[in-house]
Amino acid sequence: MKLAVIVQRYGAELNGGAELHARYVAEHLARHAEVEVLTTCATDYITWRNELDPGVERVNGVPVRRFPVSRERNVDEFGRRSVQVFEEPHSVAAELAWLRSEGPTSPSLINHLRRRGDAYDYCLFFSYRYYHAYHGIRVTGPRAVLVPTAERDPALGLGIFGGSFRGVRALMYNSHEERALISAISNNDAVPGVVVGIGSEVPAHPEPQRFRQTTGIEGPVLIYVGRIDENKGCHELFDYFQRYARLSPQLTLVLIGNPVMPIPTHSRIRHLGYVTDQEKFDAMAAADLLVMPSHYESLSMVTLEAWALGRPVLANGRCDVLCGQCIRSNGGLYYENYEEFAETLHSIVSNSTLRDALGMNGRAYFNTHYTWPVIERKYLDMLDRLEREDAAQVTRPEPLPIWGRRRRNLPPGRQVVDRLPTGPAARADGTRPTGRSAGNS
């Protein structure tokens, strides 16, 4: 079986969510099938500038074929078109123009799929919202398998993506919430799908004492791992933590990751910058809990890693995925305002029984659903199922209208997404969790 993994960027040094996800999947599926990665020459997701050479290279033993990006992103144009399609009634032509402005526009990659796509049994497209996935799905047709990595953002409400969700052979979801979201917006229940997620390589014996000795941090530790960005909820985290630190001055907030926003100067906030994986896992093992303040996550890998290390998680309850995972795993608490932040944080930090119980549940949840053997098996089972099914019955992505493309009859993307149901998805037993606003629209 020959598989193609198509993703917007690829490289051993890239730590973006979908890109890392694609690399892990490609490397693990390479043990069971012939895998080739098709990607662009870009490494910067803001400009999509061609920084790598086109052609074939190997990354961790996996062949990677790179194609140049025909035009860099014009940030002003992209911003203007984003406002147009997200906030105003617009046309199909406006959405296609937005897709081109978003990039990475690589016609050569699409042409390769058009000419050589038959050489692959299945094409795994990562991230529905980019140029390569939208056009690649239409080129490869019944061989396309989509890993959408969708979040609750306005791009999901654009009309052009409904066909992508309905016109692929299968969908590999990251979470139950993502599946419910896509199902609600595209009515693609007929398309085979499975909630897979991603595994993580967690060392069996991290050394928390090494982290303590290196950094000199004592006392309870709250750790955040990821890009320090306002879009990730870090501003709210800093605000809440500084208020909480007045009540409990023993707790230390440790930040790991590259900052794209100013970090407040506070005696209990320690920024360690970018660290190696070993240092990261040492720090996570030394921490009392992990905090994940992001509002939008399709799957938080660092959350899964914390659970793999037996550490509880304090998540933002406004993020349906994180809230649902906490409820399903019983491995973490969540908050929606400062009062809940303070109460939940204090409960976990001060109550070792609760902390250990949440950590144990999280570890069991990880071992059951997110170890690599489980992930690989889900992918292989899905591909086997697709082999058995008749590909001729697959619905092709509906063609775009030839006439009326410029008719402004599409609602704003944000408005469409706001109408979707919110809250954590149903549990495995069918019961609806009594979370934040389950079922509310």
Partner 1 sequence: MAEFNIQSDSVDVTRIMEQIRQRIREKRGRDYTEQQIRELATVKLERFLDPQQVRSDLVEHYRQLEPPAALEPIRYERPGPAPEPFDFDEHTIYASSRGTMGKLIRLIRKLLNPILKLFLNPTPVVFALSRQAEINAWTLQLLQQQTDLAERVTKQFERAGAKFAAREELDALNYEVLNNLVVEMTRLSVDMKNHRSLVESVAGRLDFDERRARALESVVQHRSPQPSPGEDGERASSTASGRTRRRRRRPRRRPGAATTADDGTNNDTATAAGTPSETAPTAPPPDTATRPVGTTVPDAVPPRHYGATPPPAPVVEPSAPPPETTPPPPSAASSPDPEPPTPAVPPVADAGAPDPPPTPQTSGQQRDAPAPATAPATETVAPTSPTGDASTDEQ
Closest approach of partner 1 to the CB of residue 237, in Å:
18
Collapsed DSSP state (helix, strand, coil) of residue 195:
strand
* Residue 317 and residue 436 in contact, taking contact as beta carbons nearer than 8 Å: yes
- Residues in touch with partner 1 (CB under 8 A): 326-327, 329-334, 337, 339-340, 342-344, 346-347, 350-351, 353-354, 356-358, 360-361, 433-435
d(CA 93, CA 160): 10
d(CA 162, CA 79): 22
Antiparallel, parallel or unpaired: β 269-273 and 289-292:
unpaired
Name 272's Cβ contacts closer than 8 Å, sequence gap at least 6. 215, 254, 255, 256, 279, 283
Q: What kind and span of H or E run contains 58?
A: strand 55-59
First to last CA, the chain: 43
Closest approach of partner 1 to the CB of residue 71, in Å:
47
Collapsed DSSP state (helix, strand, coil) of residue 430:
coil
* Residue 178 and residue 150 in contact, taking contact as beta carbons nearer than 8 Å: yes
In terms of C-beta density within 10 A (0-12 exposed, 13-18 middle, 19 or more buried), how is residue 433 classed?
Answer: middle
* Angle, in degrees to the nearest 10, between helices 131-140 and 107-116: 20
Closest approach of partner 1 to the CB of residue 361, in Å:
6
d(CA 435, CA 441): 14
Closest approach of partner 1 to the CB of residue 322, in Å:
12
**Residue number, 399 or 430, with CB nearest to partner 1:** 430
In terms of C-beta density within 10 A (0-12 exposed, 13-18 middle, 19 or more buried), how is residue 46 classed?
Answer: exposed
Closest approach of partner 1 to the CB of residue 365, in Å:
11
**Residue number, 96 or 360, with CB nearest to partner 1:** 360
Cross-strand bridge partners of residue 37: 5, 64
Closest approach of partner 1 to the CB of residue 429, in Å:
13
Closest approach of partner 1 to the CB of residue 329, in Å:
8
**Residue number, 335 or 370, with CB nearest to partner 1:** 335
**Residue number, 90 or 363, with CB nearest to partner 1:** 363
> SS3 helix, strand, coil % of the chain, rounded to 5?
45, 15, 40
Closest approach of partner 1 to the CB of residue 95, in Å:
39
Q: What kind and span of H or E run contains 125?
A: strand 122-126
**Residue number, 61 or 219, with CB nearest to partner 1:** 219
Tokens 């921490």 sit at which residue?
A: 287
CA-wise closest residue to 25 among 57, 55, 52, 60: 60
Q: What are the helix (H) ranges across 296-436?
A: 301-308, 320-329, 338-350, 352-369, 372-388, 413-418
**Residue number, 9 or 328, with CB nearest to partner 1:** 328
Closest approach of partner 1 to the CB of residue 441, in Å:
21
**Strands laid side by side in the 252-256 sheet:** 269-273, 252-256, 221-225, 289-292, 313-316, 332-335
CA 371, chain centre distance (Å): 17
**Residue number, 157 or 424, with CB nearest to partner 1:** 424
Closest approach of partner 1 to the CB of residue 265, in Å:
27
Closest approach of partner 1 to the CB of residue 349, in Å:
10
